[in-house]
Structure formats: structure tokens, C-alpha cells
Amino acid sequence: MRKKSNTIIEIIAVGSELLTPYYQDTNSLYITSRLNDLGLKVSFKTIVGDDHVSLLSCFKLALKRADMVFIIGGLGPTSDDMTREVFAEASGKELEFRTDLLDHIKSRFKKRGLIMTSSNKKQAFVIKGSEVIENRVGTAPGLWIEDLGTTAFLLPGPPVELKTMFESGVMPRMEKYRNGFSFRKVLKITGITESGIENLVSDLYPKSPEIELSVLAYPGQIEIHITSHSLSSPEKAEKMINPLIKSLKGRLKEHIFSENNEELEEVIGRLLLKNKLTLSTAESCTGGLLGHRITNTPGSSRYFLQGVQAYSNKAKRELLDIHEDVIKKHGAVSAEVAGLMAEGIRKKSRSDFGLAITGIAGPGGGTREKPVGLVFTALSWNNRKNVEKNQFLGMRDSVKSQAAQKAMDMLRRYILFNKIKPIKR
């Protein structure tokens, strides 16, 4: 085997469905993340169907080119499932029948009041010389083969079975292959564009191979993922990353809304709870997305009182007391209406904050003065209000996402900077 730092790892995802337009191999992302935690990297990913010839050639190749191979899927009871058999062939090993495994499979069926079908019997065959990895949530045992030059893991394809087995049975066995320690930090950012971030911080991007940095962009959200590796200890890995994090935070300041992998709705939930504040929402073009996001956080009923989706002008009048004249004069998509929506919902619900969105999500409905993507977001608090005009790019769903994100961010920044005290009730 090569030096640990140069370990060549291949992941092979097995299954004909993975060669259709419908299914994506997501298991390998999870495995990659866990291997990265051990200071290991993936060099190849291969996706291959349930076909004897193809499987055989892929397995043979992996045994030749990789130091370690993770083969996922094809361990089930049906005739399609042939990973075990073909891997035995590729590695020149024999299969042996294990009565203890058959008993284990039988007892799983029994517990559920089912009778084992004869096809499950094949799951009790293992590759000679392999170590069995217990499957706590399914019938297919995993296998660990160490005496081939290439270390091989044969693991089940269903994500729940894979993850459970990986955590309980694979990670402990991987300890001896560990190439140091990794520490990962994610800075979640909103209210600034990707190029805005580049301008502010790109000179800080790490040059050493021990620290890696990736920038991921989503509608209304940018994430900086930083991973450091230390050969000696997790503490050193963490320490190594700290100066960079400090510099990034010094430059990006309040644009960072979380360094603990929280969603924006969790952050505002935490801020509201801490300050004993309540919130209500009034939405037009987002149609409920803002409320949906806010209530994705468990326990949000402690601060989210109510919302209205005032889609029609009539609804804006009736639910939010917005005068017909204002809508006529400025239009439903206007700073004036956005501000009145936020104020209206705050007063009607007697919440501390009112948050509102009105805009043109598209694809239709745009004009030269008010193009698609024009969205007003508004925050009302204690007889004051703040309205922002945004011009978002993208399709309807992206405009809606960015609008909800922006509204939540207005609230976050307001609470952060205004040292708000709860209103006496």
C-alpha cells in the first residue's frame, strides 16, 4: 500500500437504475464526507449496472488501480444482485455459506412476523477470508476484505442501511487507515453576491494544501466550506483553521449569518426567542414560502404568531387594512404597499415584528418600470418601518427563494444592530 496521504480510493456504485435519468448516486457524497474526516480523499467514482461483464471489469480495475474500494449496492436477495458473486470472481476468492448469518436473517424476518423467502438465503454467503459487518437495519450483511492488496468494503445500497453500517461498522475499521485529522467549518452568508465576497476575501484563500476552501452559491445564500487537515491531532486541525476563519469573519462581518450550519430561519428563531420577540408575516408573490421557511424550525410556534398570503388586492385591503387608494396610486408592487403590509400584519396580530414581501415573481406580469424579479421586502417594528427594493435574477422559484431569504435577513440584521428589548405587554 502507498503512503497514507497518497491512498487511492475508489467508490463503485452498483445498480442499473443509476444509469437511468431518474436516479442519482447520493451515497458517495456521504462516504466522501466521512472519508474526508479521516484525512482521506476519493480519486475515482464509478457507476455501473447490474451486469456480469461490466461489474467484473470494474471490480478487476479497482483491485488494480485503487488501494481501497467501496462497493455500494447489489447485495440484495434478487437475481439482479450479484456484487458478492462477481467480486469473488474478480478477486479469485470463493464464497462460503455462513449458518450464523442465515439465522440472523431468519430472525429479522421472524421479528416482523414474516417468513424468509428462499432468495434471501444467498445473503448468507460471504467471501472467504472476509469479515462480516453487521447490518442493523436490513438483511444484507456488509463485507470487509483486507487480504487482497486493495482493501475492499462491500456495502448495501439503501441509504439508511449504508449510513447505519458505515457509522457503526466501517468508521471503526477505518481508524487504522486514518491520515490525520480533519476539521470542517462552514460560513453561511447572505446579503452579498458571490463576486462581492470574492472582492472582499479572495486574497485570503489558503495556498497550503492542508487547508481547502470551497465557495458554494445558492439563491440568496453563499457558503464558504473550509476544511483543514492535521497529521497529529483534531485540535491542531482546528487551530490551523482559526486564523483564516478570524480573517474571513473580520472582512465578511454581519454578512455571515451562521458558522454552526444553521439555516437562516433557525438563526432568526434563536434571536427572536432570546429576545422574547414575536413575528408575523404578510406575503404576496412568495405565496407562503416565507411562513413555510420560518415554520420549518421546530418550536417556531413560540415566536411565529400568524401569517397572511394577501395574493389579491382585495386580500391586501381586507387582511391588512391597506387603503384602495394606496394600491391604485403606487401599485400592489411598491415600497408603500410593502411597508403597509408589514405594518398591517404587525398591528393586526399584535406581534413585535411584521415582515412583508410584494413583488413580481414572473415569468409574466413584468413591465419596463416594474420588471420580473422586482421585489419589495419590508420590516415593521414599533411604529417604524424599513423597506428595501430588490431586483432578483432567475426563474419564478429562484425569485421567490431570494425574496424569502432577504426578508428574513432584514429581520436578522435589525435585531442584531438595534439592541432591541421586548415590548412590555
| Closer residue to a copy of itself in complex, CB, 62/101 | 62
| Closer residue to a copy of itself in complex, CB, 306/390 | 306
Judge contact between 285 and 361, C-beta under 8 A: yes
* Prior bond of 159 cis (ω within 30°): no
**Residue 22 C-beta: closest distance to a copy of itself, Å:** 6
Judge contact between 265 and 281, C-beta under 8 A: no
Separation of alpha carbons 112 and 327, rounded Å: 62
**Residue 45 C-beta: closest distance to a copy of itself, Å:** 4
Judge contact between 43 and 11, C-beta under 8 A: no
**Residue 221 C-beta: closest distance to a copy of itself, Å:** 14
| Closer residue to a copy of itself in complex, CB, 127/411 | 411
| Closer residue to a copy of itself in complex, CB, 10/343 | 10
| Closer residue to a copy of itself in complex, CB, 124/308 | 308
Task: Say how many C-beta atoms besides its own lie within 10 A of residue 243's C-beta.
Answer: 11
**Residue 385 C-beta: closest distance to a copy of itself, Å:** 21
**Residue 387 C-beta: closest distance to a copy of itself, Å:** 21
If phi > 0 it is left, if psi is from -120 to 50 it is alpha, else beta; for residue 388 that is beta
| Closer residue to a copy of itself in complex, CB, 121/348 | 348
What does the chain come to in residues?
425
Separation of alpha carbons 9 and 58, rounded Å: 14
Separation of alpha carbons 72 and 84, rounded Å: 11
**Residue 26 C-beta: closest distance to a copy of itself, Å:** 7
Beta strands 353-359 and 374-381, pairing class: antiparallel
Separation of alpha carbons 237 and 239, rounded Å: 5
Core vs surface per residue 6-24: b (16+ CB within 10 A) or e: ebbbbbbbbbeebeeeeee
Question: Cα 397 from chain centroid?
Answer: 18
| Closer residue to a copy of itself in complex, CB, 139/278 | 278
**Residue 300 C-beta: closest distance to a copy of itself, Å:** 7
59, 63, 64, 67: CA torsion to nearest 10? 140
**Residue 288 C-beta: closest distance to a copy of itself, Å:** 3
**Residue 292 C-beta: closest distance to a copy of itself, Å:** 4
| Closer residue to a copy of itself in complex, CB, 238/263 | 263
| Closer residue to a copy of itself in complex, CB, 152/285 | 285
Separation of alpha carbons 162 and 170, rounded Å: 10
